[in-house]
Amino acid sequence: MRFALSAEQKDFAASIGDFLSDVDTAAAARDWAAGDPGSGLTLWRGLAGIGITGLLVPERFDGLGADPVDLVVAFERLGYHAVPGPWVDTAAVLPMLLEDELLAGVAAGETLASVALPPHVPYALDADVAEARIAVAGTRLHAFAPGRALPSVDSCRRLFEVREGEVLGAAVDPPLAFDAGVLATAAQLLGAGQWLLDAAVDYARQRRQYGREIGRYQAVKHLLADVVTRLELARPLVHAAAIAVRDGAPTRARDVSAAKVAAGEAAYLAARTGLQVHGAIGYTAEHELGLRLAKVRALVAAWGTRGMHHRRVLDAVSGAVA
């Protein structure tokens, strides 16, 4: 047993972090929300160059055929920097749905995908930007056309109704594709939560009220201590879920659901606490906090609600002890 990231995985996370710290991801996110995807697509291609879009793509389609643990390492960084775009659909879900030359385009960073996977993923993300638009119906794949736009609480998530089109063929493994989407979403939540914590800690060290830094007050310290506790205990669930996806473990559904619930709750607590610590400045559109706060709320509902994942956990564990 060795339950820790490898040196290579830590380096991978650091290289993604370095890349994203050098570009203005907040500006790209705001452009994306405003319907101007240019800077977001530049960012996309840059990240594809580091290998993120090809992680789960098999080597015969020029992908990396990497470990799902690498995937969660990457998605945690994407969540941390609030990178816009259909990352879950393209990099995590699509490679589990089809085996096709399309994946070579994904790996190269040229093809963006938008995937609907009803009932839990009924709306299509960024379907106006993605050229591969695929809906799962039972065991079959359909192309779809984007219908009415549905504004999300996270303005960077451009959602659309799905109008089913021509049948494309059989889906490879829809349950695995769903679980990969849940896993990547959980990792993004964890990253967003970590950013919210880091920002609140930095702010609490600087902001002075009543003649001292607010981080000196126990009331503030205790809020932040609870956030770090939740995040630290959610992270191993995300890593274990990635292992279960990699190994095709019989506990896969249970493990990804547990990860999504815990990461969602930790990130949401981080969002609420982050806003509380920042006060009014955090409630402004100029501040980056809002980008994560809205994203966390959106991702808590996306890829299966808390109630749905609770049910999956209970079904699995009560089956196990029956």
314 binds other proteins (CB under 8 A): yes
Q: Work out which of 18, 59, 101, 232 binds other proteins, going by CB under 8 A.
A: 232
Residue from the set 258, 269, 289, 299 that interacts with other proteins by CB under 8 A: 258
What is the spatial distance between Cα 152 and Cα 171, in angstroms, rounded to a whole number? 28
- β-pairing verdict for 113-116 and 132-137: parallel
Give the helix/strand (H/E) hosting 75. Answer: helix 68-80
Q: With residue 20 as reference, give the H or E element that holds it.
A: helix 7-21
C-alpha to C-alpha distance for 250 and 269, rounded to whole angstroms: 31
Name the residue nearer to other proteins (CB basis): 41 or 201.
Answer: 201
- Enumerate residues 185-214 that contact other proteins by CB under 8 A: 201, 204-205, 212-213
DSSP assigned state of 133: E
The one among 64, 149, 243, 272 contacting other proteins by CB under 8 A: 243
Rounded to the nearest 5 degrees, what angle is found at the Cα of 158, between the Cα atoms of 179 and 21? 80
Site string for other proteins, 146-165 (x = CB under 8 A): --------------------
- Does residue 279 touch other proteins according to CB under 8 A? no
Does 310 interact with other proteins (rule: CB under 8 A)?
yes
| Residue among 152, 122, 185 nearest 298 (CA) | 152
Q: Which CB atom, from 126 or from 179, has the smaller least distance to other proteins?
A: 179
Minimal distance in Å, beta carbon 193 to other proteins? 14
How many other C-beta atoms lie within 10 A of the C-beta of residue 309? 24
Whose CA is closest to 72, among 299, 263, 267? 263
Question: Binding residue for other proteins (CB under 8 A) from 229, 250, 281, 284?
Answer: 229
Give the residue, chosen from 221, 272, 287, 297, that forms a contact with other proteins under the rule CB under 8 A: 221
Q: In what order do the strands lie in the sheet with 113-116?
A: 113-116, 132-137, 140-151, 158-170, 124-125
Residues that bind other proteins (CB under 8 A): 1-6, 9, 67, 69, 201, 204-205, 212-213, 215-218, 220-222, 224-226, 228-229, 232-234, 236-237, 239-240, 242-243, 258, 261-262, 306-307, 309-311, 313-314, 317-318, 321-322
